Structure formats: structure tokens, C-alpha cells
Amino acid sequence: MFRPILAALLAATALNACAAATPEQQIVNDAASALGGRERVLAVKTLVLEGGGTNGNLLQDMTPDASGQAFLVSGYRRAIDIAGGRARTEQTRTPNFAYFQGMAPQRQLSGIDGDVGYNVAANGAATRVPNTTARDRRAELLHHPLTIVRAALDPAARLTHARTAGGERVVDVTIADGSTCTLAIDATTRLPTRVVSMTDNANLGDVAVETSFADYQDVAGLKLPARLTMKTDKYTTATLQLTQQRVNADTGDLAAPAAAASAAPIAGPPTPVVTIEEVAKGIWLLAGQSHNSAVVEFDDHLTLIEAPQSEARTMAVIAEARKLRPGKPLTQLVSTHFHSDHTGGLRAAVAEGLTVITHEGNAGYYADAAKRPHTLAPDALARNPKSLKIETVGEERQIADRTMSVELYHIAGNPHADTLLMAYFPKQRVLVEADAFSPGSATQPYAANLLENITKRQLKVERVVPLHGRVTPFTEVVRAVP
């Protein structure tokens, strides 16, 4: 006697489900069907992907637009525990360019386990990564057709803004923890084509991180992509061709190593420590951590060389620079090159009203960087917008008044970057440079070219003030060149 009631209930439920299929749900349902059906998709517990490809050299390439420097990736293995929200990636990467750490292959191991992101070094030591990196890795868990469609099928997920664009149908997905991403499927095959999530990048501001899927293959009754391409903004950060894909295979232990799991969360960059050393009258080295700056005193103003790392670091450096000569305004920033670690404080310097002086090859990128939206993590310039004041240098430029003279030169042909400037003080015989020579570095792949540029211009350098490391006699540069 219960049967008719049960049947009626089931029929009503089915009818409701049909009637309630919004355009948003239809996109997710279509994707699930194309991948092998809702039940098969929901039955997947783990995924193990293996293969190889390339990694890009994001904002560390020869030019701001990137010249194609890459790391070749081999031995790639990514194991994902879908329900557990855990993943671990191992790979070996080998640079196809003159890398500052040398050309030897590097084994890398990184992972995410809930809120804990971690890296494991070659010697086995595990460290916790900053919360922002962990957040990006959690978002990346959804950057696969199976994980995003499963998440979107969850009744707790909120699906919004169904639309058609080009040959794609697109829907925004907000999952239970509040994070949002966008799923695009092919309008014809209904297979997922892309997942996009937004994140904050200190240099680029609000950026889209996109993984696109191609080369779908049959795996255990499912269709899975064998080719994945990842981009941050317009930059390709990874390409992967998978040679093996296993569903519900043993992933091994994906728990965060104890050293990382028990470490305190890292909420922001380290507290800035700024030390001051007078290199010569009117020239100071501001050091204290991994990236240095220099301050130069002119008759009526101060000039800062380099705004590195982060807003916090650069603001601390600017504050110390202003204390050196309280009567003189700090008005200029010389930026040696565009690499992300040397320009993390560029926007802070613009917010502080400094005029930026840099190689002409950096100008377009800096103009863009100063204008980009930073709504996800508003910085000083986002809170107080100012337009960029910029002066560019081609091969050389002198900045001089009656008390100080500095010559800026392009370090031409350097394999580290096409847009590197060095600053030479002829009277003091001091050279300030970034990355072309870093004392204490195990390899010095850029020093020969630096020496060539110094010789070509007949500079009488006695001491080098590096933007990584300590003040060094020039003989150290000569010694570093075989």
C-alpha cells in the first residue's frame, strides 16, 4: 500500500527536478552527461594524473611581454583526493634559459591539505606556504572538469549568470566555502573547455587564473582531458600533456607533512627589517632582508633605487629614506627592471608620488601596472589613485646637479633581462646593480655580460652595491667570470 505513494513522490520529485532545471543547472547537467554521466562523475573519489610539459617564467622573463623562457617539466604527477580537498604535485623542471639557480633539473613537491599549503624541499624539509598561496592552491583544486562539475552539482553550490559566448556556454559557480569560479563548456560537445578563477597578484592586481582543457580521452567510462593549459592573466604558466590518468587509484598519503601542518599560518609578508649603511657620502644601502634598495642624495632631493618585493617592504624603505635627510623630499625612484620581485613596491612608490625612472622597455608594463584594478586586495594606490609619472632611459642617461652625479646605463645583451639598468657613480666609483651579479650566489650566469658592459663603457668601478647581498669589491665580479 505504500508503493503508489512512493511512486507518486518519486514522480513529483522527478517532475520538480525537470521543472526547476534553470539555464545554469542545465549547463552543469550537460557537462556531467558529456563527462560520462552524473553518477559516474559523483563516484570519483581520487584522480591521479601523470605526464609532462612546460612551466612559464611568470614576470621573470627577458621582457614584460615574455619571450618564451620556460622550464621543461618531466615526471609530473598530481594526486587529488577530491572529497578530502587535498592534492599533491611532484615534478622535475629544467630551465631552457640561463637561470640564476643554474641549469640543473630541480625536483619540486607542493601540496594543499585543507587550509594548509606546503612545499617539500629536495632534502625532505617541509614548509608551510603563505595563506595567499594556499588559497590559490585551493582554488586550483576546482581547475579540472571532474572537480568543478562535482562541486557545481553539490546542492549547496550557487549557480549564476548563465550565458553564451562564442562557442561556449558559461556559468559562475560559488561553492559552499564562498569561493567562486567560472565554468565554460563547449556548446556542441558540452565538454568543459575552461575553468577561470580570480585572484590577487601583488604586481598585476585582480587577475584571472585560467585552466583550459583539450584532447579529451576515454578513462574508466569517463571523458577526461589529456591536455591542460594554465594562464595567469595573459601569461601562460603551465602546459601539460598527460600520459596516464587514473580514477579512484591509490593516491598515497596526501596529508600535509607535520612540520607544515603544525606551523603557524602566514598571513602576510614578513615584517620589514631595514638596515642602513653609508656606502659613500650621499649614497646609502638599505638592506636587512633578501632585497636591497639604495638612496642617493642630490642638492635638493633624494632618489630611491628599487622598490622591491611588496608594498610593506617598499613603504618601510621609503620611510627610512626620508629619515636620512628630513629636509629633502624623496622625489624619484630608479627601477632597475620589471621582474616581479624588484617591482612589488612599484605601485606603493607611485602612491607616494615618486617619479619612476626606468628603461624604456619597461614603460608600457609600468603604465599598465599603475592602472590595473586591485579590488580583491586593495593596495595604497588603489585606495588613493594617482597617475604614473615616468621618465625612460634608452642606452644611458645622466642625473646630476652640483653635489651628485649618477649615470644610468642599460646592461645591454644581458641574459637575465632585456631591460636592465645599472647606476654608476663616477666620483665614488660605485656601481649599483640588480641580479647581474649577486655576491654569494652559487652560479653567476649574468656576470660575464655585466663585466662586458662595464668594460665597454670604461667605467672605473671599485665597489659594487648589489641589490641582493653585501657591498663587494669589484674584483669579486672579475673573479666570478671564468
Q: Which is nearer to Zn ion, 57 or 197 (CB)?
A: 57
Q: Which is nearer to Zn ion, 141 or 363 (CB)?
A: 363
Write down the least CB distance from residue 399 to Zn ion, Å: 22
Q: Which is nearer to Zn ion, 193 or 203 (CB)?
A: 203
- As a whole number of angstroms, the distance between CA 152 and CA 132 comes to 24
- As a whole number of angstroms, the distance between CA 478 and CA 424 comes to 17
Write down the least CB distance from residue 123 to Zn ion, Å: 26
Write down the least CB distance from residue 62 to Zn ion, Å: 10
Distances (CA, A) of 119 to 88, 113, 141, 260: 9, 11, 16, 8
CB of 304 closer than 8 Å to CB of 322: no
Write down the least CB distance from residue 344 to Zn ion, Å: 12
Q: Which is nearer to Zn ion, 186 or 435 (CB)?
A: 435
Residues at the site binding Zn ion, with contacts judged by CB under 5 A: 339, 435
CB of 433 closer than 8 Å to CB of 464: yes
Q: Which is nearer to Zn ion, 192 or 466 (CB)?
A: 466
CA angle 474, 476, 479 (to 5 degrees): 120
Write down the least CB distance from residue 69 to Zn ion, Å: 12
Q: Which is nearer to Zn ion, 67 or 475 (CB)?
A: 67
CB of 360 closer than 8 Å to CB of 334: no
Write down the least CB distance from residue 336 to Zn ion, Å: 8
- As a whole number of angstroms, the distance between CA 46 and CA 8 comes to 37
Q: Which is nearer to Zn ion, 339 or 410 (CB)?
A: 339
Write down the least CB distance from residue 55 to Zn ion, Å: 17
**CB burial readout 193-231, b (16+ within 10 A) else e:** bbbbbebbbbbbbbbbbbbbbeebeebeebbbbbbbbbb
Q: Which are the contacts of 119, defined by CB distance < 8 A and separation ≥ 6? A: 108, 109, 110, 111, 126, 127, 129
In the block, residue with C-alpha cell 599603475: 370
